[in-house]
Structure 1
Amino acid sequence: MSELQEQVQAAVDDLVESGAEQGVQVAVYRDGELVADAVAGLADPATGRAVTSATPFYNFSIGKGATAAVAHVLAERGLFTYDTPVVELWPEFGAHGKEGVTVRHVLTHSAGLPGVPLDSTPEDMCDWDKMVAALEDAELWWEPGTQVGYHAYTFGYLVGEIVRRATGKPISQVLLEKVAGPLGVGDELYFGMPPAEQGRLAVLEDAPMDMSVFGDMPDDLPMFKAGPMSLFPTAALGSREDYLTADIPAGGKTTARAIARLYAALLGDVDGVRLISPERLREVTTVTASGPDTVFGNPSAWGLGYAIGHPASTAEQTPTWFGMAGAGGSAAYADTATGTVIALTKNRLTADFAAYERISEIVTKTTS
């Protein structure tokens, strides 16, 4: 066992033993090789089922990293470019003055369509055709490319419908055929997860969270216009069978080692599979849109589908890191400078990324 493996395992063991976490997975890749694969805790406290490296977790927005990867693989194969107008692939999308939205705008959260209808229900989110129709009928919040605002749910449907129009296939099928399957993780990385497989999932639980902060916020904040509170990421929402079965590619179900392997294959060769060229990797990981997030108010910096800068830092401090974090504290990021990937998945939904930051500190010390 390597020193890194020992250190990471000790850290995840402590996270569980201290009561901070219930079940945790960590996977670390370096230069295309899995160099740490650590698990601890319970996937299901009710039955005593332990977390293994093959236990999938529903990780909310961590799945956007896979959604973006599918788009880049198709762009690599010439099905569209980043500057292709969305209406060229999806003509109905152009209603209400949206003809100027490009694939690049969608990938950088600058398209101006960050919200779903405020009367949307969880059942609606599982209805692909209904959500696509809502986007076709939507009006822009801003001129595409002039502002940045996190497209929490709409990112998945926008990219997913672009993929469907370009290939004739749902994005779950393209993920399996072009990304997860070739990487050997087709049974660990999903958008829509077949009901027969859902018993393998880790059971989510909500960490205690002070919701009073929302009561202190003005009612007219843009984030409250981007979707109803019934769609706020919680253990109950992420445990619904319809939510788990449906294609909602703003999130995903994955193991740490599967999403880490995907990022490693964006960086370079993984057992003979490389998802995109070095030239495209540079384009994907260059800051393309940045500034205050119009919806949530935080500073933001985006490459093409990926946040630039490590969690708890800024793009200026860690400009070579790119990836996606998920509501609840899971995250997966890669570093173009060192060829390192760090992924952490967990089933206790916390409001911070303390667990990921702790693992990252251990891993980055070994590469500095």
Structure 2
Amino acid sequence: MNRRANADVQGRIENILADLVESGAESGLQVAAYLDGEPIVDAYAGWADRGAGRLLGPDTPIHSFSTGKGFTATVVHVLADRGLVDYDTPIAHYWPEFAAQGKERATVRHALTHTLGIPQLPPDVTPAELCDWDTMCAHVAGARPLWEPGSASGYHGWTFGWILGETVRRITGLTPAEALRTYVSEPLGVGDELYFGLPASELARAATLVEGNWAAWLATLPPDAPFRRLVVPNREVWTTAELANRRTYLLSDLPACGTTTARAAARMYAALLGEVDGVRLLSPERVTLAAGVAVEGKDRMLLGRYTKGLGYFLGLPETAGGTAAFGHHGSGGSIAFADRERGLSFGLTRTRLVAGPAAGAARVLADEIRSAVS
């Protein structure tokens, strides 16, 4: 794209965001995109905290829930590229306690593909326990798989973070937050925009989330639905604005989730596709492994049919389908992904948590950018 085309798509995205906020459909949005390693969109509109009169900026970190799983997967792949971890090595090789309850052969690949079999949380788990690293690592290490590892896939909504995060910690000696900074965010120059837990010094910069219809949608799930019964077994650990706005939660190292700007997330995915200002996170061969189809079919927790790579979802609706695009959603409508066919990466972060048709802005904005680059 030439400079004129860049300016045109930037302007169109800015106008769409302004209209969404002005209409009341959205409270605050960031959208960013890279094409062949170069930024083509960095747009934002709305409020970081309307009650405090604080406007959203391009550098305002927004908690984006499971969008952060893509960051965790990326850390694991960077370590694999350096020969520090092998996908088919049992997790217990790195973390001996994990062998309990028949998990001695469960591998890093099983964790990345959600086929390990321990998506469940204790039914009465509290937010304080959720934010206690040692408590939750002890839970996943001592949990019995609900199915034979590798035999089925079911979304490990919370447990994904402790399983892979503690594996990273055992290998590197770094907490997940430290590993993300060391291997991903600092090399890319986004050390102050791409996080798991926020440093206390950065807390005041973060956006305040507001509920749209996301919490109400969670409440419509039948109590016996696997996702509600096992993955988020009580209302206190639902992925809502109420939870995400807690100071202790935002400060916690929770690598199932992430707090980021759209431009930092898009930059990370761009650096998976190729060089960004001289930095490439993974070799092309590693990207082919990480973003290739690893499992597909019915997900035991989400109940729909999904295609997954190693830590990323493939062919999400916002990516216009097809398995050449890989990335991750977050609860309430955030998303970041890379499109290998187009050389395009995209990030959308939001302050209003929404579900269903209300979350359609991400597809509209991604389609607008895809139309411009093609």
**TM-score, structure 1 as length reference:** 0.96
CA distance in 2, matches of 1:220, 1:9: 39
Does residue 340 of the first structure (1) align with residue 344 of the second (2)?
yes
Are 2:192 and 1:153 equivalent residues in the alignment?
A: no
CA distance in structure 2 between the aligned counterparts of 1:169 and 1:210, rounded to whole angstroms:
34
Structure ranking higher in helix proportion: 2
Secondary structure of the corresponding residue to residue 336 of structure 2:
strand
1:184 shift after superposition: 0.5
The one-letter code sitting in structure 1 at the alignment partner of 2:280 is R
CA offset digits 1:247-293 (Å, max 9, x no partner): 01110110000011100001110011100000010111111011111
Provide the rounded CA distance (Å) in 2 between the counterparts of 1:36 and 1:212.
31
Classify 1:17/1:212 alpha carbon distance in 2 versus 1 (closer, same or farther; 3 Å). Answer: closer
Q: Distance in 2 between matches of 1:73 and 1:272?
A: 16
Match of 2:332 among 328, 345, 350: 328
Equivalences for 1:264-303 in 2 at 5 Å? 264-303=270-309
1:311 and 2:327 correspond: no
Indicate whether 1:113 and 2:123 are aligned. no
Q: CA deviation at 1:218?
A: 5.5
Contact in 2 for aligned 1:147/1:291 (Cα 8 Å): no
SS at match of 1:41: strand
Aligned residues: 366
Q: One-letter code of the match for 1:356?
A: A
Match among 68, 78, 96 for residue 101 of structure 2: 96
For the residue of structure 2 that corresponds to 1:2, the secondary structure is: helix
Supply the distance in 1 between the matched residues of 2:221 and 2:368 (Cα, whole angstroms).
37
* Aligned counterparts, 1:86-235, within 5 A: 86-208=91-213, 211=216, 214=219, 217=222, 219=224, 221=226, 223-229=228-234, 230-235=236-241
The RMSD of aligned alpha carbons is 1.6
Q: State the alpha-carbon separation in 2 of the partners of residues 274 and 149 from structure 1.
A: 31
Which one is further off, 204-213 or 346-355?
Answer: 204-213
| Residue-by-residue CA offset, 1:160-214 (whole Å, 9 max, x unaligned) | 0110010011010011111100100000011111222111011100013583774
Q: Bigger shift: 224-233 or 34-43?
A: 224-233
User: CA separation in 2, counterparts of 1:192 and 1:215?
Assistant: 30
Percent of aligned positions that are identical? 47
Counterparts in 2 of 1:337 and 1:44: CA distance versus 1, 3 Å? same
How far has the Cα of 1:119 moved from its partner?
A: 1.6
Q: Is the 8 A contact 1:320 1:337 kept in 2?
A: yes
Rate the CA distance shift 1:240–1:355 in 2: closer, same or farther, 3 A: same
Q: Which amino acid aligns with 2:263?
A: R
Is residue 263–residue 341 contact of structure 1 (8 Å, CA) maintained in 2? Answer: yes
Question: Which residue of 1 is the match for residue 244 of structure 2?
Answer: 238
- Structure 2 residue matching 1:95: 3-state secondary structure: helix
CA contact (8 A) 1:308 1:320 kept: yes
Alignment of 1:70-89 (within 5 A): 70-89=75-94
Give runs of aligned pairs for residues 23-38 of structure 1, distance below 5 A: 23-38=28-43
Q: Give the letter for the 2:37 counterpart.
A: G
Distance in 2, matches of 1:338 and 1:77, equals 27
Cα distance in 1 between the residues matched to 2:237 and 2:14: 34
Distance 2:15 2:216 in 1: 32
Instruction: Give the CA deviation at 1:7.
Output: 1.0
Structure 2 CA distance for partners of 1:213 and 1:200, relative to 1, 3 Å:
closer
Q: Which amino acid aligns with 1:326?
A: G
Unaligned 5+ segments in structure 1 are none
Instruction: Summarize the Cα distance change of 1:228–1:77 in structure 2 as closer, same or farther, 3 Å threshold.
Output: same
CA distance in 1, matches of 2:299, 2:47: 36
Q: 1:169 to 1:21 in 2, by over 3 A?
A: same
- Partner in structure 2 of residue 44 of structure 1: 49
